[in-house]
Structure 1
Amino acid sequence: MKKKLTTKFIETRKPDPAKRVDYRDTVVPGLVLRVNKSGTKTFSFHKRINSKMKRLTIGQFGPFSLNDARERARQIHYEVETGRFEQNTGIEIEAKPTLGDVIPDYIEKHAKVHNRDWKRKKALLEKFSTLHGMRIDQIKRADVVKACDTIHKSAPVSANRALAHLKHLMGWCVERGMIEANPIAGMKPRAKEQPRERVLSDDELGVLWAVCDAEGYPFGDCMKLLILSGQRRAEVAEMMWSELDLEKRLWTLPSQRAKNGRQHTVPITDAMLDVLSRVPRFLGSDFVFTTTGKSPISGFGRVKKRLEKALPEGTDPWIIHDLRRTMSTNMAQLGVPQPVTEALLNHKTGVVSGVAAIYNVYSYADEKRKALEQWNERIKKITAPAHDQQVERRNHA
């Protein structure tokens, strides 16, 4: 759209999350302000050169003021009109896209196809906002280091994740011929991460179970299945009735829903069946845990806060993923072999690989069922009323 650009107008432009928007300056013909979906604002010059419309990147708003951009646009226009453009300007006629241009393309063509958590990937790539206005072929290692240092100040772990995603994006650009080489290949993460070791105690599990009882459907019941099965949060939250064979007591997680892209089978124990048997079914919906019938539940942050309020003051911080480590640790104490635990958790190191995996979908089927039953029996003892626990202790005295 045509618009007399002003500094105030540019500063107050909000991005449209659905599309990028171009504003054509009415003061200097050919000058265009592009507001990308990511929020970056870039000046460029549009003009027909040798019978073809060209877009020439000038620079990002901020480093380039409106006056700078207009002056540069006038210079390019003069050089084009006088035939001096290709010899003197130093700007390529076929301008390369900026990082801000590439990110939406990468998300649409790659991340949405291959990554279930593509929204998280998009959010992390958008943290490189200082680089969004730079041409993809002009981004240097030093530019990325500086951007990572900025992100690291407020979110050290996010800086590592963002760097990993940017490395992959740059590799994708190499494959598609946008750049010749990945400028950040081999670049090490800025922050050193400590592996999580949090394991919930029996008392903490007992409190959480009681709160889940009070919470009920859908979040309370979903959390119970997370504790009992040890599966990933998204995999349980997005569980579908069509994946469950209640007669054979088997939950088959399809490859497209599993984090590692492999079909996974989880035995359904008596305790898990007890939870599922009380879950209401929405007419015409395949989702087990839903409030609308049209989509699975989300927003675990709210229910987690309610769970944390029930725990004693001073309890160490925990995340839902720690429930998997808690089950794994307890299984080791129960004498379950590590390969069986790994297979039950659907870790890549714990499943049969290669050609054998195709013919061994039910790998460790009996062992997984026995191990899960042992763990669920332990949960039953942990969550039993205090009177029942006292009777059991007297019986073993």
Structure 2
Amino acid sequence: MSGLHVVSKTRKAGQRWYVYAWRGGPCIYQQDGARPVITPDILGAQQRALQDSFGGQSEDDIDAIIAGYEASPDFTTKKDSTKRDYRRWLTRISERFGNTPLSAFEDRRMRGDIIEWRDLWQDQPRTADKASVMMATLLGWAVENGKIEINVAAGIKQLHHVNKADQVWEDRHWQAVRAEKDFPAHIMDALELAQLTGLRLGDLIRLDWKCVGEKAIIVEKTGKRGGRAVIPIYDDLRKWLDGRKDERSGTVLKNSRKTAWTESGLETVWQRRKPEGFDRVIHDLRGTFVTKLAIKGLTDEEIAKIIGWTAKRIAEIRARYVDEARVIISLAERLSA
């Protein structure tokens, strides 16, 4: 469990198991026969051993690493939303491993303890993966700063598996949304602008009318890499923008209270109002934008510059959704001739 070191020895009378508070620490339990089940009593004995050895104030345990990491530029320079998420997981790590000596993390078998902790959320694979990734991040910082020699959490296999291929919204998706009774106009605005600009959700909700020029929408410090997006204002996008001439102040998108959206707010409302069984997410509208540009004749390189993806990724979407559709239409026309 939390840094415990369990070993067995074969004796004439059979197998005997020894549980140590940590690798190199005192033996706190032994049992003959089957491998011992870790109980609250054993964990309590481990905590007492830790307190006896380090007085509960060790500068050489995981809590000390957490404190150092939170004070470092690796943490302090992140966005507030990222720091909130990280703190949530650092607290969980502290609750489970906080008093565990760093020496325990020099033993590769500690990887099994981390996986066991991660599996507390195995029925929520995304959450479980965040647990192991955050531990790997923390231990990676410790390695980088010379606190430990190895990162035993690096490369732990992810539980959540997704289709990495980019998805796009097809006609059937739009038809399903528009068929929803009393679907809110402010949500539809967000969906339409997303497919017309290809902006990430965070950039989309923060888009201000000041960024909308005569020929292009220019967004500074976009998304994860803090780059610059320049989106040409083509006919469909211009028509959408012109339909909102009387609203040109503040953010382009507004919620039902006529104030700016938050990412979680838009996601929450969309999850509540989306059609039942809907198999696309808002992020997929970026791929939809790519297909729109491809159909209009832009090259993969030109599209890549606009949306910030690689030309290879654009080519994959083109092959799947644009070229394939054209082949099918051509075949239908030839077979109908």
TM over 0.5: yes
Q: Indicate the residue corresponding to 1:185 in structure 2.
A: 154
1:231 to 172, 194, 199: 199
**1:336, CA displacement in angstroms?**
4.1
Q: Indicate the residue corresponding to 1:267 in structure 2.
A: 232
Q: Distance in 2 between matches of 1:145 and 1:350?
A: 37
Q: Indicate the residue corresponding to 2:66 in structure 1.
A: 102
**1:230, CA displacement in angstroms?**
1.9
Q: Distance in 2 between matches of 1:126 and 1:90?
A: 21
CA contact (8 A) 1:209 1:224 kept: no
Q: Does 1:301 align with 2:267?
A: yes
Q: How large is the Cα RMSD of the aligned pairs?
A: 4.3
Q: Indicate the residue corresponding to 1:114 in structure 2.
A: 78
1:175 to 144, 162, 178: 144
% identical equivalent positions: 21
Instruction: Compute the TM-score of the two structures, normalised by the length of structure 1.
Output: 0.53
Q: Indicate the residue corresponding to 2:305 in structure 1.
A: 343
Q: Distance in 1 between matches of 2:168 and 2:68?
A: 39
Q: Distance in 2 between matches of 1:192 and 1:221?
A: 31
Q: Does 1:240 align with 2:226?
A: no
> In the TM superposition, what whole-angstrom CA distance separates every residue of 1:136-188 from its partner, at most 9, and x where no partner exists?
6134322212122333x212233334323322222222233443432223444
Q: Distance in 2 between matches of 1:91 and 1:324?
A: 54
Specify the code of the residue in structure 2 equivalent to 1:202.
D
**1:290, CA displacement in angstroms?**
4.2
1:324 to 270, 286, 300: 286
User: Larger helix proportion, structure 1 or 2?
Assistant: 2
Q: Indicate the residue corresponding to 2:251 in structure 1.
A: 287
CA contact (8 A) 2:90 2:134 kept: yes
Specify the code of the residue in structure 2 equivalent to 1:223.
L
**1:125, CA displacement in angstroms?**
5.1
**Pair 215,103 (structure 1): closer, same or farther in 2 beyond 3 Å:** farther
> In the TM superposition, what whole-angstrom CA distance separates every residue of 1:234-282 from its partner, at most 9, and x where no partner exists?
110111233222x2x2222212x32222222112233333433416658
Q: Distance in 1 between matches of 2:76 and 2:181?
A: 34
CA contact (8 A) 1:148 1:190 kept: no
> In the TM superposition, what whole-angstrom CA distance separates every residue of 1:110-132 from its partner, at most 9, and x where no partner exists?
34513575144444555546634
**Pair 190,201 (structure 1): closer, same or farther in 2 beyond 3 Å:** closer
Specify the code of the residue in structure 1 equivalent to 2:120.
T
- 1:1-397 equivalences in 2 (<5 Å): 65=44, 89=53, 94-99=58-63, 102=66, 105-106=69-70, 109-115=73-79, 118=82, 119-123=84-88, 128=93, 131-135=96-100, 137=102, 138-139=104-105, 140-151=110-121, 153-195=122-164, 198-208=167-177, 215-217=184-186, 219-245=187-213, 247=214, 249-255=215-221, 257-277=222-242, 278=244, 281=247, 286-290=250-254, 296-298=261-263, 299-305=265-271, 307-309=273-275, 315-329=277-291, 331-332=293-294, 336-347=298-309, 349-350=310-311
Specify the code of the residue in structure 2 equivalent to 1:200.
W
SS of the counterpart of 2:131?
A: helix
SS of the counterpart of 2:210?
A: helix
Q: Distance in 1 between matches of 2:41 and 2:296?
A: 61
Q: Structure with the greater relative contact order (CA < 8 A, sep ≥ 6): 1 or 2? A: 2
CA contact (8 A) 1:174 1:180 kept: yes
CA contact (8 A) 1:199 1:325 kept: yes
CA contact (8 A) 1:290 1:297 kept: no
SS of the counterpart of 2:137?
A: helix
SS of the counterpart of 1:179?
A: coil
**1:102, CA displacement in angstroms?**
0.9
CA contact (8 A) 2:207 2:252 kept: yes
CA contact (8 A) 2:173 2:278 kept: no
Instruction: Compute the TM-score of the two structures, normalised by the length of structure 2.
Output: 0.61
